Amino acid sequence: MSGVLIVHSAGPGVTVQDRGRSGTLAFGLSRGGAMDRLALAEGAALLGQPGTLATLELAGMGGRFEASRDLRIALTGAPMRASLTLAPQGAVHGNAPQGAVQGGRLVWGASHLLPAGATLDIGPVTAGAYGYLHVGGGIDVPQVLGARSAHLAAGLGRVIKAGDRLPLGKDAGQGTGLALPPSDRFGGGVVRVVASLQTGLFPQDQLDRFARTEFRRDTRANRMGVRLDGAGEGFAVSGGLSVVSELIVPGDIQVTGDGAPFVLMAESQTTGGYPRIATVLPCDLPRVAQAPAGAVLEFRFVTMAEALEAERRHRNDISALAGQIQPLVRDPHDIRDLLAYQLISGVTAGNDL
């Protein structure tokens, strides 16, 4: 352990997340892990550290955080309002007194320095659904069954609350003030699917209608699944309520008895009896996870060959992230407080002003 991240307040859906668990499916425990896996890779690229480290997932709303040591952070996933307030110098470093620096706005999709004792405020999402706060060295809570991820549906771990002190791993990296180009995955859109085990149980006219329906993401959505609203009638297979219960994987689109499709997500059940109309490609699941309530989602069937090609491109894109990182450059007119900007860009150590 190397210091702690102190939680002064937290939104209702803040959890520790990593890539989740492998090997527990046979015991009924799904993989879990971050809802937006691409955001994990982005955080790792910005901090120059492995993508296996644990991070904080912020569902819709962030919180107020403070670090016990100078801490490199990266903010990825759904953009949220974030700002940094420096502690009065005397209180932290015992240097010459200096007033707190108020409200330096932090660029999302970038890395920053959070000096010891400074306050990081993260507000609500401005697009998308899940933001991520990554820390240099990762959140070092103990592994349970092979991962640090909270799995709320399974009762593993819990939501983060005010007063929590999260252990920090040792940060082997350096450098902040870097940014990635913005992503377009935070407002719904077209999602590619392949046929599932049970796609063939649905009549062709329903499959056609499924593929041309503009669904809206329902307000009912969590880490288990995302409900979709279609304007017209629902979907069903004859005898669907008595289909043998069968394996479920994340991305499966299940049609429950009321005819509404559910996209099953990170903390899905591992088996289920409601028929699955299709399965979302893993590389398109972040788009589903990040669709805010009311956003339009459409589904397009692709062949297995197209799906594998998409996966190949996706992995290439992830490998290319490190090469897309640019130093944060902003118009000075946008900068409310140059002093704060300098600090958060990592140009100074924070205690030498």
Residue found by looking up tokens 């920053």 in the block: 112
Distance CA 32, CA 281 (A): 16
Residue 104: helix, strand or coil by DSSP? strand
- Do the Cβ atoms of 260 and 220 come closer than 8 Å? no
Binding range to other proteins, per CB under 8 A, among 117-125, 252-260, 331-339, 345-353? 252-260
| Type of residue at 195 | A
Binding range to other proteins, per CB under 8 A, among 9-17, 73-81, 265-273, 344-352? 265-273
Q: Is 155 in the site for other proteins (CB under 8 A)?
A: yes
Q: Is 218 in the site for other proteins (CB under 8 A)?
A: no
Q: Is 273 in the site for other proteins (CB under 8 A)?
A: yes
Q: Which of 9, 83, 85, 269 binds other proteins (CB under 8 A)?
A: 269
Residue found by looking up tokens 């002003």 in the block: 353
Structure tokens at 119: 């306050």
Pairing of strands 189-194, 276-280: antiparallel
**Residue closer to other proteins (CB basis): 170 or 312:** 312
At a CB cut-off of 8 Å and minimum separation 6, what does 67 contact?
3, 4, 5, 6, 114, 115, 116, 117, 118, 120, 135, 168
Q: Is 233 in the site for other proteins (CB under 8 A)?
A: no
- Do the Cβ atoms of 198 and 345 come closer than 8 Å? no
Distance in Å, CB of 51 to other proteins, minimum: 16
**CA-based R_g, the chain, Å:** 22
**Residue closer to other proteins (CB basis): 126 or 245:** 245
CA distances from 331 to 328, 334, 341 (A): 10, 6, 11
**Residue closer to other proteins (CB basis): 163 or 257:** 257
Q: Is 25 in the site for other proteins (CB under 8 A)?
A: yes
Q: Is 146 in the site for other proteins (CB under 8 A)?
A: no
CA-based end-to-end distance of the chain: 29
Q: Is 26 in the site for other proteins (CB under 8 A)?
A: yes
Distance in Å, CB of 120 to other proteins, minimum: 31
**Residue closer to other proteins (CB basis): 19 or 134:** 19
**Residue closer to other proteins (CB basis): 120 or 288:** 288
Task: Give phi and psi for 264, each to the nearest 5.
Answer: -85, 135
Q: Which of 160, 194, 328, 344 binds other proteins (CB under 8 A)?
A: 194
Residue 26: helix, strand or coil by DSSP? helix
Considering only residues 287-326, where is the footprint of other proteins by CB under 8 A?
304, 307-308, 311-312, 315
**Residue closer to other proteins (CB basis): 170 or 220:** 220
Q: Is 222 in the site for other proteins (CB under 8 A)?
A: no
- Do the Cβ atoms of 297 and 291 come closer than 8 Å? yes
Contact residues toward other proteins (CB under 8 A) are 22-29, 144-145, 153-156, 194, 196-197, 241-242, 244-247, 249, 251-252, 256-258, 269-274, 279, 281-282, 304, 307-308, 311-312, 315
